[in-house]
Structure 1
């Protein structure tokens, strides 16, 4: 909770306390602006009744006084909101203005109600002025609980006015204890206890809410910082790895073609392994760069008219040697007609390769990967189905998240970075399409990519 001492010592506050006060000031101003018309209707109705049944001149005087108070409050609320938006807020000065406006308006309303009670005499029960004061007290506890000193000042003024009205009758009339005048005083005391308890409840509730809100803001800030750090790390590592890896692969290629002399037969296999793994590392670095650029909002596509059928067929042809190493067969069902989409040929090829690699990797030995391309209304649907282990229910988020693996243990059977499906999802969604899957444990999984047809 914030007390008046805290508010006066703003320069010595830490950042969390300072943010808390600014947030309370902003909340106070927002609520004050939203409730302007409610207050205006209540005041005008009360003043109209007072003017009609009692002294019109007194009602007119308080109409002007309340209008001045409301004008002051409205200008102050606008100033608070403008200062918070421009980050030029001076909390201590704003608080003093709010404090002064609160006292001014509470005194004006209290004097208005006391004036009605005086005009009513001592035998009316004072329903109207007491009702107005108690309603104002409840209204304040519900909407002005951001600062305890402000609310306490307003309630103190209202309580003094309420007690003055009730005690004044007792003092003037001096009735016996059985008189309803005494009953009115006891009733007033009971209601005041209820109002104070209500104020305490709202203050505690708001304090808890504000602490939770600040905790969420801090967590959000920490999450953003962690995300930015990860993005910078990926960018730095990826760029630093790409250059030496490219040089290594180039050197291996030159050796393999005999630029440095004839390669001994015993080294051919070793060179092949080295070239294969360097290519794999280059592809991984490319995936990391794509991931980083997507996170940074710099993910771009080179769009052109692409025959999706030819693209899929070409990627399947290039994929066949890898499928043979896993003893997996690829069954293709792609009609001879053209299937055009507006897309990035290289990125869409990457999606096809990722889906084929994923299907083959999770297939059993001798399994079949079925690839089909169909047209559905204005969309083209590419499906890649395997007969592998399947995906458990409720794993969609994990499947498509970065570095996601259903089995993330060091001893997992199927190795991989977990980037393929995440990158594929980003590429497909960048084309305005969708990627989803159907799966049954032990029976296999079918991934479907849906893209808008351009043919």
Structure 2
């Protein structure tokens, strides 16, 4: 119980701060709407009754509006955490409310006095309009609404009661009808205030519920991410040992094995490699989402990297009966980025193109520049894609063909990872359908204006090239 009281107090302070800020924001947004109403009221008063009254009321309104504007600005600039500041700002809002409401009360009573007993349509109408405006726009802070409507209600009753008292009108007089009508109007305004207050509090409750659900979802997502990351690491360690043992046995380093055993060991080796690649992709996506994927940005020659990547992926494509063809200018294409990660993107695109292309076809890889942009395009001769497939192509764990009978396997992470890698390089990745058959995937990067890639390549000649992670040679389908 002792812990609950401070928590409830803290929660109340947060709610009060939100309500004060909502009130100030609405008051600031409606400033010109209020000025138009005031201008119309003052114009009518000055033309039909008294210029002095219009000028005096205008000055009072200006002072009130300036004060409210200053307080609204303080409330909106407040961080919402200091209880002492909250109390001070709330007192200033109360004073501003009393000041602006008193100006309207002064105007209504002055017009009523100028009109004389009985004829109070104008004064009561503007008073009603002010009360209805308050019911619609001042419901965020209940004490402020009560204070403003209380002053208006007292004036609503005072004007007809004063007429009855001055004229000693009997109950059968029309002045009594005006009093009863004023009471009915007051009930209508109060009921409108109740409705708007109910709507506002209902929306606050919905926002609070959404915040709670959002926090729960974030906690669940964090727990899921940590679980996947931990399990992926734990699975990768024994899988690496198993694959190493299978590689030794398959290569005959542990003794001669029969043909049937050799075939079985080959199957086990391929599946171990596939599992490690799947785990590496899951780890990659977790690193990206957590903002912990390292990028070693350096100048390099994109043309040279594409050539090396095509050569590396050539044997894989050959096993599928597909030939890779690379074309480019002889000039270097200097860019700045993480060469290993860019190779990972290109490998994902090329391996997918080879998988979806028919046997005996050619996948063409083109490097070109246009302005200050370098583009690498990979054109296949597969079934092609539609614009409606774009979301599934680049979404996580999504396959264009997600049926149980699909021929191409994979997690659906490769292209999503590629997209996020390109975003980290301020680049883009996309595709378009070919006029005849197949699709062309491409990614774009900014050219390095300094042209330092060739110099960097020369200075690093003979040094050991950085190795891309295992997922960089992933052969997973989209």
For residue 245 of structure 1, the aligned residue among 239, 263, 271 is: 239
- Structure 2 equivalent of residue 326 of structure 1: 320
For residue 401 of structure 1, the aligned residue among 395, 398, 414 is: 395
- Structure 1 equivalent of residue 22 of structure 2: 27
Is this contact kept in 1: 2:109–2:159, CA < 8 A? Answer: no
- Structure 2 equivalent of residue 268 of structure 1: 262
Q: Distance in 2 between matches of 1:334 and 1:130?
A: 83
For residues 187-241 of structure 1, what are the alpha-carbon distances to aligned partners after superposition, in whole Å with 9 as ceiling and x for unaligned? Answer: 7567546644543553344345434433443443344334323321232122212
Structure number with the bigger relative contact order (C-alpha 8 A, sep ≥ 6) is 2
After superposing the two structures, state which structure 1 stretch, 264-273 or 29-38, moved more.
29-38
1:297 aligns with 2:291: yes
Change (3 A) 1:302 1:10: same
Q: Distance in 1 between matches of 2:28 and 2:422?
A: 46
- Structure 2 equivalent of residue 214 of structure 1: 208
Partner SS for 1:394: helix
**CA positional deviation for 1:396:** 1.7
For residues 105-155 of structure 1, what are the alpha-carbon distances to aligned partners after superposition, in whole Å with 9 as ceiling and x for unaligned? Answer: 588557745763686483484577546633431332132112556524532
1:284 aligns with 2:297: no
**CA positional deviation for 1:386:** 1.5
Is this contact kept in 1: 2:363–2:381, CA < 8 A? Answer: yes
Number of aligned residue pairs: 440
Partner SS for 1:275: helix
1:168 aligns with 2:141: no
- Structure 2 equivalent of residue 231 of structure 1: 225
1:385 aligns with 2:389: no
Change (3 A) 1:441 1:163: farther
Is this contact kept in 1: 2:105–2:151, CA < 8 A? Answer: no
- Structure 2 equivalent of residue 137 of structure 1: 131
- Tell me the C-alpha RMSD between the 2 structures: 4.5
Change (3 A) 1:70 1:139: farther
Partner SS for 2:325: strand
Change (3 A) 1:70 1:12: farther
Q: Distance in 1 between matches of 2:65 and 2:204?
A: 28
- Structure 2 equivalent of residue 341 of structure 1: 335
- Structure 2 equivalent of residue 374 of structure 1: 368
**CA positional deviation for 1:399:** 1.3
Change (3 A) 1:367 1:335: same
After superposing the two structures, state which structure 1 stretch, 394-403 or 224-233, moved more.
224-233
Change (3 A) 1:40 1:333: closer
Structure 2 gap segments, 5+ residues each: 452-478
Q: Distance in 2 between matches of 1:415 and 1:17?
A: 54
- Structure 2 equivalent of residue 411 of structure 1: 405
**CA positional deviation for 1:379:** 1.4
Partner SS for 1:372: strand
Q: Distance in 2 between matches of 1:343 and 1:96?
A: 54
- Structure 2 equivalent of residue 158 of structure 1: 152
After superposing the two structures, state which structure 1 stretch, 150-159 or 18-27, moved more.
18-27
**CA positional deviation for 1:383:** 0.9
Structure 1 gap segments, 5+ residues each: 1-8
Q: Distance in 2 between matches of 1:282 and 1:15?
A: 50
**CA positional deviation for 1:307:** 2.2
Is this contact kept in 2: 1:120–1:126, CA < 8 A? Answer: no
Q: Distance in 1 between matches of 2:316 and 2:258?
A: 26
Q: Distance in 2 between matches of 1:80 and 1:439?
A: 51
Q: Distance in 2 between matches of 1:414 and 1:94?
A: 67
**CA positional deviation for 1:422:** 0.5
Change (3 A) 1:321 1:70: closer
How does the TM-score come out when normalised to structure 2? 0.74
**CA positional deviation for 1:453:** 2.0
After superposing the two structures, state which structure 1 stretch, 242-251 or 127-136, moved more.
127-136
**CA positional deviation for 1:250:** 2.5
